[in-house]
Amino acid sequence: MSAMPPVDEMQRAFEARDSSYDGVFFVAVSSTGIFCRPSCPARRPLSRNTRFMATAKEALFAGFRPCKRCRPLHTDGQPPEWVEELLAWVEEDPSRRIKDGDLRARGLDPARVRRHFQRTYGMTFQAYCRGRRLGDALGEIREGGELDEVILGHGYESHSGFRDAFVKTFGTPPGKSRGEDCIQVDWIESPLGPLVAGATAEGICLLEFTDRRMLEAQFRAIRRLFKRAVVPGKNPHLEHLKRELAAYFSGTLMRFTVPLVFPGTPFQRRVWEELLRIPYGQTRTYEQMAQAAGSPGACRAAGTANGMNRIAILIPCHRVVNKDGKLGGYGGGLWRKARLLGLEQGVPSS
């Protein structure tokens, strides 16, 4: 409960149907066996029958079903309105230094903003803004921008302050970063919940559901493998990915064309490359994957490599099933695996 607002605050938000708390916590109702968004329009249950959950995943694992009225597993392509407006404000001028007083002036509680960004995006709002400023600064430096102009143009009052923030994020001084690159990340809403995507100048290197347990490990892996910092930002490959994911979830795209970058061990790469060869709407067993990767009998190793895939959906690890046809494991949750296969096989979702 420590990562969520205080219980009395959540209770007030639930009673008021406050949509600004959607995504910050979920409400599970023991008398009906369902869980909801805080803004659910349904009649409010007795407080003794409610439990507050940090994530939809937690509610699902506790045996609760998603509410059919507020659809807590569906984001409908939109974050809460106040988050959307706040992100748009940042994008108007990423160099703007937004302080707590600025948030209060917009009617937002800084603690609520911090909790929502930490929960949904894995970083505080201030860290998000700092990453946006530094990501843009790196881009200007790579294009030959003068350091003095870059520093002043991104909200820093001194060379030392900019240098300290830059080195902490990118690992190299700004004057030695002409040839540096970073991994830029953005968040994408989907019918199965929010996704975090990462891209280098070469292509997409990360796509994961934000509630996946291994997400932090995947971030550490891409930092280590690419030897680059991870910062929020925009990237042509990310924009390409958003368009293709929208088409995929609408059922009109069967093959992704956005470039992918997926370093790994030779065996991992063979497994991931075989995943890319599984046709849309079809499945393979772990035994078939091991054989295709040139290691017959290495089913467990193939399953491990499958689980280490950092680019969900695009490298379709959801298309691998057990020998008996059952779904088996999936880092994003078996319900998502079933929904993805159902989408590809033309099975309507319930």
**Catalytic residue ranges:** 36, 317
**Helical ranges in 109-262 per DSSP H:** 110-121, 125-142, 147-153, 159-170, 215-226, 236-249
The CA distance from 340 to 248, in Å, is: 10
Q: Are 52 and 7 a contacting pair, CB within 8 Å?
A: yes
Write down the residue that tokens 């603690």 correspond to. 111
Determine the number of helices (DSSP H) and then strands (DSSP E) in the chain. Answer: 14, 10
Tokens, residue 231: 């910062």
Tokens, residue 16: 């008021």
The CA distance from 179 to 135, in Å, is: 14
Q: What is the CA radius of gyration of the chain?
A: 22
Q: Are 79 and 189 a contacting pair, CB within 8 Å?
A: yes
Pairing of strands 65-66, 183-188: unpaired
